[in-house]
Amino acid sequence: MEDEFYRMLCGGRLDVVLDSIRRMKELGIWVEVTTLILPDYNDPPENLYKIARFLREAGEDIPWHISRFYPNYKMTDIPQTPISTINKAIEIGKEAGLRYIYPGNIPKDPRENTYCWNCRSLLIERIGFFVQKNRLIKNICPDCGAQINGVFE
């Protein structure tokens, strides 16, 4: 959530990204956000709180994908993201009131599944990018009847 970070590492501007997220939500376009956590760059808890609060204000149903970084290609000098950092980001997202938070780049993590925000029933079971089971019935939780926003086709 620092413009300098976006300019330096991504070659873009943070305000444009944030405005785009808000605008797409206003237009009714389904939005999901991925944050690649880079150790010593964007991993301080106060930064993660800023991201989570922004997403909550934009829409509590915006899925937040928190991805673990692995050194590769031109960024081999940065260590992989500790799982404890991913866990902290997940807790921060929950505290902020986000309904759907997914860790990424952690193979076979059961938190990559989708659970009902209301009753916590397992709705969509995944392994990586593959859906193993989908219990949703027209975006409705079959256990409690809660509306589950998203595109699940």
Read off the pLDDT of residues 5-28 as tens digits, 9 standing for 90 and up: 889 888 899 999 999 999 999 999
CB 122 within 8 A of CB 79: no
Residue 152: band (very low, low, confident or very high) from pLDDT cuts 50, 70, 90: confident
Looking at the structure, tell me whether residues 91 and 145 fall in a common domain. Answer: no
User: Which CATH number characterizes residue 29's domain?
Assistant: 3.20.20.70
DSSP symbols for 24-64: HHHTT----EEEEE-TTTT-SHHHHHHHHHHHHHH-TT--E
What CA–CA distance (Å, rounded) separates 28 from 9? 30
pTM assigned to the model: 0.93
User: What are phi and psi for residue 94, nearest 5 degrees?
Assistant: -65, -45
CB 87 within 8 A of CB 93: no
Looking at the structure, tell me whether residues 103 and 148 fall in a common domain. Answer: no
Looking at the structure, tell me whether residues 67 and 126 fall in a common domain. Answer: no
Read off the pLDDT of residues 109-134 as tens digits, 9 standing for 90 and up: 989 999 999 999 999 999 888 999 99
Read off the pLDDT of residues 101-111 as tens digits, 9 standing for 90 and up: 999 999 889 89
Q: How many domains would you assign to the chain? A: 2
